[in-house]
Structure 1
Amino acid sequence: MTKQERAELLQNLLLNMATDGDADGSEYQQLRQEMLRDQRTRELLPRFVVTSRDLGQFWSFIKYKFSTYQERREYIWEQFRPLIDSLEGVRTASAPPDADIDSALAQYDAEHVFVAWQKALARRFDDPDGAITSARTLLESVCKHILDEAGVVYNDKMDLPKLYHLTAEQLNMAPSQHEEKIFKQILGGCKSVVEGLGALRNKLSDAHGKGKQGVKPAERHAALAVNLAGSMAAFFVSSWKERQAGAE
């Protein structure tokens, strides 16, 4: 049985469980363990699979999250889509902006960059904390890949704004590299977006411990972070590929 077939079987087991059908608990546990042992599938596995050690735990989650069978089906399909699409090699997403970003990142020869994007997408609504962290990880990964390919030395512990500054210089995107007011304004805006993503993660996400009054991120915060990070990552990749093509 292929990985894709195992992923689809796992999805179907959960669909059956969520709609009062027959589901084999031991088969679920075996498939779950197989998926968790494989790095590629583990990173794209729905959060509720990671946290549900058996079907009883999954049922306790899904029965309160949605009251109708149709809502449960649509939710499970949506959460499994990044994993199954990745195993199929299909680069699709649920919204037009996502599809544009998919196209740009799928063409970049760095598999875990695309995995980071798919992981951020999958966590937007089910795990806002994790989605914000994944959004920043995506940008950091893209910056590091571009710097590696450009032969630029950097400290692996650099924060995102510093990585962005080095990357922007390689892409001729630093505001200081342009005289035209409009270009400086646009590129300054890009810098602000990156700095804002870093600040959002530090303020809201699971990157730092929270006190009693800690702010819990909402779905809209996660959607904002993921969409901004995806758009910026796609812009970086497209700009880098264009510069490489021009240098040939």
Structure 2
Amino acid sequence: MNELFEQVESLQGLLVSHATGGQEDEAEYTRLRQVVLAQAALEPVAPRFLRTSRSLGQFWQFIKSKYGTYAERRTYLWDEFRPMLELLERGSITPSDQIVTVAIERFDSANVQAAWSKALDRRSSDPEGAITMARTLLESVCKHILEEAEVKHDDSPDISKLYKQTAEKLSLAPTQHTEQVFKQILGGCTSVVEGLGALRNRLSDSHGRGKVGVKPAARHAELAVNLAGALAVFLLATWEARREATT
């Protein structure tokens, strides 16, 4: 992964140089571009212009029309490459974690990002805490969406009620569809939320226990965090698509 980091960094430097008056090697650009585009894990965070700028000439036409000054071009390219470089620096996380992390970081919500980060950090060392944060992640995502949509919600409702309100706003409630396959899939999402709420109440650190308590293992936390992460991405992506459709 260190080698890939260095190649991405080299591509960034090459493009910064070319965008600010330098004359770079076409073959090297082609090689580095292909390295980046061949990495499935980098696809969600790769700059979009890399897909369309197949040559340095095409990149030059893109960048000179987008920004007129060298300073603006440097800042733009640094910002565009930052997600890839940060992702590679966190090389210990799995591809599925990367996808969720990138999707969540696109949304300006400190609560959502903090919940996901804590859920990841606690999966192995603190399964109880990870399960609590998995539920908190979904709660934060639902509240984030409802607040952006200017929909009133109780400050701390149970997660099933909060998810139902969010799903109805996004037209994801099973009752809002007639196709059986969609009703089944969306009903499954509802069951996941209800299950996470129950798991949190049963196995997390959110409640006290008696002498004989069920203690969660790392695999329970892994399941809870992965389910919460996948559903969080689905909700946020649906919300983003609906906003784009109305603008």
TM-score of the two chains, using structure 1 as the length reference: 0.63
User: What's the counterpart of residue 56 of structure 1?
Assistant: none
Structure of greater Rg: 2
User: What's the counterpart of residue 131 of structure 1?
Assistant: 130
* Letter of the 1:241 counterpart: E
User: What's the counterpart of residue 165 of structure 1?
Assistant: 164
* Letter of the 1:97 counterpart: S
C-alpha displacement at 1:197, in angstroms? 0.2
C-alpha displacement at 1:116, in angstroms? 1.1
C-alpha displacement at 1:114, in angstroms? 1.1
User: What's the counterpart of residue 197 of structure 2?
Assistant: 198
For 1:90, what is the secondary structure of its paired residue?
helix
* Letter of the 2:98 counterpart: A
Query: Over aligned residues, Cα RMSD in angstroms?
Result: 1.5
Q: 1:208 & 1:111 partners in 2: Cα distance?
A: 25
User: What's the counterpart of residue 40 of structure 1?
Assistant: none
Q: 1:235 & 1:140 partners in 2: Cα distance?
A: 14
User: What's the counterpart of residue 219 of structure 1?
Assistant: 218
Aligned residues: 161
User: % of aligned pairs identical?
Assistant: 58
Q: 2:142 & 2:196 partners in 1: Cα distance?
A: 14
Consecutive unaligned residues of structure 2, counting only runs of 5 or more, are 1-84
For 1:225, what is the secondary structure of its paired residue?
helix
* Letter of the 2:119 counterpart: A
Q: Deviations over 1:28-63 (max 9, x none)?
A: xxxxxxxxxxxxxxxxxxxxxxxxxxxxxxxxxxxx
* Letter of the 1:182 counterpart: V
Q: 2:157 & 2:108 partners in 1: Cα distance?
A: 23
User: What's the counterpart of residue 86 of structure 2?
Assistant: 90
User: What's the counterpart of residue 180 of structure 2?
Assistant: 181
Q: Deviations over 1:68-124 (max 9, x none)?
A: xxxxxxxxxxxxxxxxxxxxx934461011011111101111122112101100000
Q: 2:143 & 2:112 partners in 1: Cα distance?
A: 10
User: What's the counterpart of residue 54 of structure 1?
Assistant: none
Q: 1:157 & 1:234 partners in 2: Cα distance?
A: 22
Q: 2:110 & 2:86 partners in 1: Cα distance?
A: 13
User: What's the counterpart of residue 235 of structure 2?
Assistant: 236
Spell out the pairing of 1:1-248 with structure 2 (5 A cutoff). Answer: 90-91=86-87, 92=90, 94-248=93-247
Q: 1:166 & 1:90 partners in 2: Cα distance?
A: 35
* Letter of the 1:227 counterpart: N
For 2:172, what is the secondary structure of its paired residue?
coil
Q: 1:114 & 1:99 partners in 2: Cα distance?
A: 13
Q: 2:243 & 2:170 partners in 1: Cα distance?
A: 10
* Letter of the 1:202 counterpart: N
Consecutive unaligned residues of structure 1, counting only runs of 5 or more, are 1-88
